[in-house]
């Protein structure tokens, strides 16, 4: 990947071009007085005088944040309603270029916003023609992100503000681009809290909410977003900008995300409130120049709010921000009596899923189930765990998943004794089981499914007995995951231990010895699931299940090579996991399409549609040529053994 700073000729060309033509809505032949020429980097250009005025819904200032059209701000001629354009979603094309945004919207990506009451939609309803116009597709133009309307995002913010005490404010910092090496970045994923409250999917942004009982909305919403920048967008893609934050995402006012702007706003706002609700982001980010801020806050603060407040320059307190402003804000934020954690308050809302959220999670479950079936069909002795992982990830992506929900576990044989085994570099051997724990993330929500199946396509007698024991526990615990049963996650786990202990005793295990069950079944039965894999962790596990809860149920048994346990079970690791949505009466299994009955698993592994074009490695089997190298040979099953097919 090229670096933008290596193109001085391009920068000079753009500077010359911008002095003779309009830039981001400025029609004069010279640069705006508050805007400097493009600097030789992809960062935000500095303003030479004062702080920028906000772009607001009440007074849409003429600024360099306007549309590229010379007729005024974006959608200026289109009636708008809360959070989105209310009529035609296609503004008139700009003579220079079509207005683009930092994420998919109904009028820019109609194929991603089909109006659907249930899933799956008819296949022909999801087809879009090559020019982007939907063919027979009814577009859900009230949605802000696929499946979630702008109104639902507003209701989330309103409910949060209604839970806050008087004279409070909420500060949510967005995610930052993370790097795996130098400036080679990972694909961006938004901070879960900011995404839940706004649907905004660009990095380096912030949200401030002030409850306002007198406001029709019930709150005031301020956003800090990356400003539109022609050179940056040339390299990194379109930005929504301050005008989009107001016109599309419902902000009352929006500022450019610059340290000076955020510092000034916090300096004037934070001292006036009694309670500031916020959480501290963490994690590695783009390399930043060490600065005095480290001594102010007690060490490195990569990835948290202080990373946003100090600029990326050799001198941390330059034209962007004053040293005194930074130190004053740090002092206020360090006051424990004022700053309170946001997560416990927000988790109370997030743990109850709306019908729209459940529909998305069902789609994620359907896609992941189909991918798991393909992984079963691709399983064969001589293939690797990594190849099975690749099949799963390919199939989820083809069905609309944006990314894996987590690093998949593909553990063959004794590797399954490691609960979070993710090396996935072993070769599948005849007679082994494969335990796969994987899921896809679709439109912001994840799935989490685990299955175990035989490499040979048929369970041995011992494998069948142990698998049946775990499956029986899964079924009984799933039946108890209802409001009428009045069970909590903690109670369900204790019940699963009792049930599994009974099943293992029947198979010859001595489970009365102290610590045996902790060794065979060392993890909890379930966890919440939603936007995050381990969703809403602050919610008490002793809370009774309610309508709208979504949780996993995943009993398991891991039998080590230990003389205390029956020898024919040693080395087996079996976990079976489903995603369960709790309804008013009963529940629904979101991952129900994934085979789990023994006959269904075997039929899937042996059935039609098997994948035969994946290379194989040598296996430890007497009837397999040990000198065979990586190739595309096909194999046939004959009585549980493998022979090469000609």
Could you give the number of structural domains in the chain? Answer: 2
More confident position, 276 or 317: 276
Q: Are 47 and 32 in contact (CB under 8 A)?
A: no
Residues 21-45, mean pLDDT to the nearest whole number: 32
**218 and 363: one domain?**
no
- Statement to judge: residues 357 and 249 lie in one domain: no
Say if 69 falls within a structural domain.
no
Whether 132 shows a pLDDT value over 80: the answer reads no
Residue 26 in any domain: the answer is: no
Specify the pLDDT at position 615. Answer: 66
CA–CA distance, 548 with 201 (Å, rounded to integer): 25
Per-residue pLDDT tens digits for 512-531: 888 899 999 999 999 999 99
- Same domain for 368 and 445: yes
Band of residue 646 on the pLDDT scale cut at 50, 70, 90:
very low
Does 42 have pLDDT greater than 80? no
> 239 and 382 in one domain?
no
Q: Which of 58-67, 155-164, 206-215, 628-637 is predicted with the least confidence, judged by mean pLDDT?
A: 628-637
User: What is the rounded average pLDDT of the residues 153-158?
Assistant: 98
Same domain, yes or no, for 525 and 403?
yes
Q: What is the mean pLDDT of the chain?
A: 78
- For residue 58, the model assigns a pLDDT of 58
**Residue 93: inside a domain:** no
493 and 422 part of one domain: yes
Residues 316 and 420 in one domain: no
Provide the CATH number for the domain around residue 542. 3.90.230.10
Q: Are residues 220 and 332 in the same domain?
A: yes
Q: Is residue 37 part of a domain?
A: no
In a domain? residue 114: no
* CA 388 to each of CA 349, 376, 563: distance values in angstroms, whole numbers, following the listed order: 37, 8, 32
Other CB atoms within a 10 A radius of the CB of residue 273 amount to 18
Lowest mean pLDDT among 238-242, 317-321, 610-614: 317-321
Six token digits for residue 115: 């109006």
Average pLDDT value for residue range 144-149: 97
* Residue 614: per-residue pLDDT: 66
* Confidence tier at 283 by pLDDT (50, 70, 90): very low
Same domain membership, residue 169 and residue 247: yes
643 assigned to some structural domain: no
Percent of residues, the chain, with pLDDT higher than 70: 69
Shared domain for 333 and 363, answered yes or no, is no
| pLDDT value at residue 260 | 79
Cα–Cα distance for residue pair 298/57, rounded to 1 Å: 40
In a domain, 92, yes or no: no
Question: In 77-203, at which residue ranges do the beta strands (DSSP E only) sit?
Answer: 80-81, 84-85, 143-145, 148-149, 168-173, 179-181, 184-185
Residue 254 maps to a domain: yes
Q: Within 13 Å of residue 637, how many CA atoms lie on the same side as its CB?
A: 21
Last residue of some domain: 294, 325, 348?
348
Give the CATH number of the domain where residue 149 resides: 3.40.350.10
Rounded-to-integer distance, Cα 431 and Cα 410, Å: 16
Q: Are 584 and 355 in contact (CB under 8 A)?
A: no
Radius of gyration of the chain (CA): 28
| Residue 326 shares a structural domain with residue 412 | no
Does one domain contain both 341 and 360?
A: no
Omega cis (within 30) before 120:
yes
Domain that holds residue 221: 143-282+312-348
């Amino acid at each position: 990947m090229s670096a933008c700073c290596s193109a001085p000729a391009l920068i000079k060309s753009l500077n010359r071009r911008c002095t003779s033509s309009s830039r981001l809505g400025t029609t004069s032949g010279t640069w705006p007085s508050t805007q400097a020429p493009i600097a030789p980097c992809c960062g935000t250009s500095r303003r030479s005088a004062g702080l920028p005025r906000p772009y607001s819904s009440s007074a849409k200032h003429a600024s360099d944040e306007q549309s590229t059209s010379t007729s005024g701000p974006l959608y200026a001629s289109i009636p708008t309603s809360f959070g989105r354009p209310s009529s035609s979603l296609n503004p008139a094309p700009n003579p220079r270029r079509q207005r683009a945004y930092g994420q998919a919207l109904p009028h820019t990506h109609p194929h991603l916003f089909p109006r659907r009451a249930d899933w799956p939609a008819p296949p022909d309803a999801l087809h879009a023609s090559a020019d982007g116009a939907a063919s027979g597709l009814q577009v859900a133009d009230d949605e802000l992100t696929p499946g979630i309307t702008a109104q639902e995002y507003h209701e989330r913010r309103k409910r949060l503000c209604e839970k806050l005490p008087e004279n409070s404010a909420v500060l949510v910092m967005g995610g930052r681009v993370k790097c795996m090496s130098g400036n080679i970045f990972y694909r961006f994923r938004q901070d879960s809290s900011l995404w839940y409250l706004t649907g905004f999917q660009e990095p380096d942004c912030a949200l401030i909410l002030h409850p306002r009982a007198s406001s029709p909305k019930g709150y005031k919403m301020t956003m800090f977003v990356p400003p539109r920048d022609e050179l940056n967008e040339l390299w990194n893609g379109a930005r929504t900008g301050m005008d989009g934050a107001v016109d599309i995402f419902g902000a009352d006012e929006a500022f450019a995300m610059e340290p000076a702007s955020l510092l000034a706003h916090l300096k004037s706002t934070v001292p006036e409130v009694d309670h500031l609700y916020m959480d501290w982001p963490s994690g590695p980010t783009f390399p930043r120049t060490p600065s005095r801020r480290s001594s102010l806050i007690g060490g490195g603060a990569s990835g948290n709010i202080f990373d946003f407040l100090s600029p990326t320059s050799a001198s941390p307190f330059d034209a962007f921000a004053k040293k005194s402003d930074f130190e004053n804000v740090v002092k206020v934020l360090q006051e424990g009596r004022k700053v309170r954690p946001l997560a416990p308050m927000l988790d109370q809302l997030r743990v109850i899923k709306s019908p729209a959220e459940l529909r998305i999670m069902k789609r994620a479950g359907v896609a992941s189930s189909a991918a798991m079936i393909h992984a079963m069909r691709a399983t064969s002795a001589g293939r690797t765990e990594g190849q099975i992982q690749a099949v799963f990830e390919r199939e989820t992506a083809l069905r609309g998943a944006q990314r894996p929900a987590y690093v998949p576990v593909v553990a063959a044989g004794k590797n399954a004794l490691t609960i979070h085994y993710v090396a996935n570099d072993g070769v599948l051997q005849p007679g082994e089981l494969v335990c796969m724990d994987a899921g896809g993330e679709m439109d912001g929500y994840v799935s989490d499914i685990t299955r175990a199946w035989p490499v040979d396509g048929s369970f041995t007698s011992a494998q069948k007995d142990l698998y049946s024991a775990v499956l029986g526990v899964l079924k009984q615990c799933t039946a108890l995951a209802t409001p009428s049963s009045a069970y909590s996650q903690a109670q369900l786990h204790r019940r699963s231990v009792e049930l599994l202990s009974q099943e293992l005793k029947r198979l010859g295990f001595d489970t009365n010895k102290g610590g045996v069950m902790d060794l065979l079944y060392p993890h909890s039965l379930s966890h919440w699931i939603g936007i995050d894999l381990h969703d809403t962790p602050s919610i008490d596990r002793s809370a009774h299940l309610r309508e709208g809860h979504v949780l996993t149920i995943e009993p398991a048994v891991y039998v080590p090579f230990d003389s205390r346990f029956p020898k024919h079970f040693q080395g087996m690791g079996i976990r079976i996991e489903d995603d369960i949505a709790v309804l008013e009466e009963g529940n629904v299994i979101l991952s129900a399409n994934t085979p789990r009955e023994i006959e269904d698993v075997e039929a899937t592994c042996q059935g039609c549609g098997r994948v035969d074009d994946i290379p194989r490695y040598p296996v430890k089997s007497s009837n397999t040529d040990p000198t065979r190298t990586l190739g595309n040979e096909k194999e046939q099953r004959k009585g549980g053994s493998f022979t090469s097919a000609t």
